Amino acid sequence: MKPAHSTSLIFGGARSGKSAFAEQLAIKLSDSKQQVLYLATASAGDTEMQERIAHHRARRPADWGTLEQSLELGATIMARSRADNILLVDCLTVWLSNLLFSGEVDFPEIGHITPPPQFAVQRQALLYALAQAPGKIILVSNEVGMGIVPMGAVSRWFVDEAGRLNQSVAAIADNVVWVAAGLPLYLKGQPW
């Protein structure tokens, strides 16, 4: 019997296959009674982002629900997670970027970065929801800290906060999977 509550973090680099792996996991974990709800954090901005979103949409099963949520992810998870569904969140680093730039502040190239006031509130709400929500939750995130340290202050802040967020989510998660070149490496939990 599959547990009613489980949280899985699927992370890796850009174009590593993490989203496709997470989608296949959602299919594998679902049964005829479980609806999959895809929580999309990206907003269609420029043409390139619209193409990325279209690519992701084309890959998903037609019977999955989709809900766009760019900022209040924790509240949405609490409201939508049930024992009889699966939430697939794609992706945490886009959500983190949304939070950082939600205050429409021009950040300095050098110096201290002060995130918008809602950053800490929304981050805490997400972590609370992941620990408390009753259903199966699959989260996709990017690993952005394996390259050189970025030059700009806001880029360094983002890399640091993405790493901290991934660590916090991994601590809560039942399963953590690193995906590279489309291949999963199970870091926490057991293969499904």
pLDDT of residue 123: 97
Residue 66: strand pairing partners: 38
Give me the phi and psi of 61, to 5 degrees please: -60, 145
| 55 carries an active-site annotation | no
- Looking at the predicted structure, is the pLDDT value of residue 3 above 60? no
The answer to whether the predicted template modeling score (pTM) of the entire model surpasses 0.75 is yes
Query: Which strands, in side-by-side order, build the sheet including 65-68?
Result: 65-68, 35-40, 85-90, 136-142, 6-12, 175-180, 183-188
Do 77 and 89 form a contact (C-beta atoms < 8 A)? yes
Buried-exposed string 177-192: b where 16+ CB fall within 10 A, e elsewhere: bbbeeeebeeeeeeee
Span between the terminal Cα atoms of the chain, in Å: 12
Over the stretch 120-178, which tens digit does the pLDDT of each residue have? 999 999 999 999 999 999 999 999 999 888 889 999 999 999 999 999 999 999 999 99
Do 76 and 98 form a contact (C-beta atoms < 8 A)? no
Residues 6+ apart with CB under 8 A from 150: 156, 158, 159
At 180, which helix (H) or strand (E)?
Answer: strand 175-180
Over the stretch 6-35, which tens digit does the pLDDT of each residue have? 999 999 999 999 999 999 999 999 977 789
Which residue is catalytic, options 5, 55, 56, 112? 56
Do 137 and 6 form a contact (C-beta atoms < 8 A)? yes
- Looking at the predicted structure, is the pLDDT value of residue 44 above 70? no
pLDDT of residue 143: 97
pLDDT of residue 1: 44
pLDDT over 90, % of the chain: 72
- What are the domain boundaries of the chain? 1-13+28-143
pLDDT of residue 2: 47
What class does CATH assign to 1-13+28-143? alpha beta
